[in-house]
């Protein structure tokens, strides 16, 4: 494995302490899963605070791509957003516009964390705000077909293959079905060609290395809950 890879994990437990503990490791980022976990705005605020204090980048997987959700998450100081179910370049452009001041529709306030609680001038706050990274999840057959066009949208930082939902959209029940893997390779190639992050969720290091060999370079490996369960299970079976 090379450190050119960016490695993180999903955090699904509503606790800033989990994020703080992960900050003591060599991970590059955490992804706070507001799509599938009970993380409200107040909890996300504390979890992003913990990430920034411990030197971790904090991405938020949002539940929906709406201006209010995007604004809220970025005002908290998130590094960027993981956006589910982006099926077209038009959708990608809409999300990028929600995340941008210049050329976009993001509402401005100097008071949130991202702007240093009013300590930055407007010009600097706008610059920092417009550096927010938007990573589009590719989770349907239509999105796979549109992968090159989505990756080419200015402001899209990367593509992220959601193999489980992709399998479901194809009428399949395994993220390792050969048809899903073929689609995955196509998306990774599209991201690489555009010079964007080629992202994936993987269960562990073996899958990480498998897909790194295919060009993936931005990995969410497992989750806090799974890592905890696996470690506890290993102790339970130690004797």
Q: State the burial class of residue 115 (Cβ atoms within 10 Å of its Cβ: 0-12, 13-18, 19+).
A: buried
Q: And the tokens for 128?
A: 């920092």
Whether 36 is catalytic: yes
Q: How many CB atoms lie within 10 A of CB 28?
A: 16
162 neighbors 201 (Cβ within 8 angstroms): yes
d(Cα 111, Cα 105) in Å, to the nearest integer? 18
Give the 3-state secondary structure of residue 110. Answer: coil
- Which one of 36, 85, 186, 237 is the catalytic residue? 36
Q: Where are the alpha helices (DSSP H) in the chain?
A: 16-22, 41-54, 67-75, 89-99, 122-129, 141-145, 147-151, 163-169, 178-194, 205-212, 224-236
- Burial code (b: 16+ CB inside 10 Å, e: under 16) for 187-206 equals bbbbbbebebbbbbbbeeee
147 neighbors 190 (Cβ within 8 angstroms): yes
Q: Which residues are designated catalytic?
A: 36
């Amino acid at each position: 494995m090379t450190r050119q890879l960016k490695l993180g994990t999903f955090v699904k437990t509503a606790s800033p302490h989990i994020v703080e503990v992960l900050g003591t490791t060599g991970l590059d980022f955490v992804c706070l899963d507001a799509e599938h976990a009970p993380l409200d705005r107040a909890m996300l605020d504390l979890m992003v605070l913990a990430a920034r204090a411990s030197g971790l980048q904090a991405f938020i997987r949002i539940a929906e791509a709406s201006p209010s959700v995007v604004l809220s998450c970025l005002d908290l100081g998130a590094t960027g957003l993981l956006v589910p179910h982006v099926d077209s370049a038009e959708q990608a452009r809409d999300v990028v516009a929600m995340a941008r001041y210049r050329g976009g529709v993001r509402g401005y306030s100097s008071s949130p964390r991202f702007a240093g609680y009013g300590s930055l001038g407007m010009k600097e706050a706008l610059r920092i705000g417009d550096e927010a990274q938007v990573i589009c999840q590719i989770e349907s057959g239509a999105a796979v077909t549109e992968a090159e066009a989505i990756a080419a949208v200015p402001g899209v930082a990367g593509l992220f293959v959601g193999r489980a939902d992709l399998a479901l959209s194809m009428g399949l029940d395994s993220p390792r079905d050969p048809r899903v893997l073929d689609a995955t390779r196509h998306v990774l190639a599209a991201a690489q060609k555009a010079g964007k992050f080629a992202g994936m969720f993987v269960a562990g290091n073996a899958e990480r290395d498998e897909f790194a060999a295919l060009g993936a370079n931005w990995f969410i490996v497992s989750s806090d809950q799974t890592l905890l369960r696996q470690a506890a299970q290993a102790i339970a079976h130690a004797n």
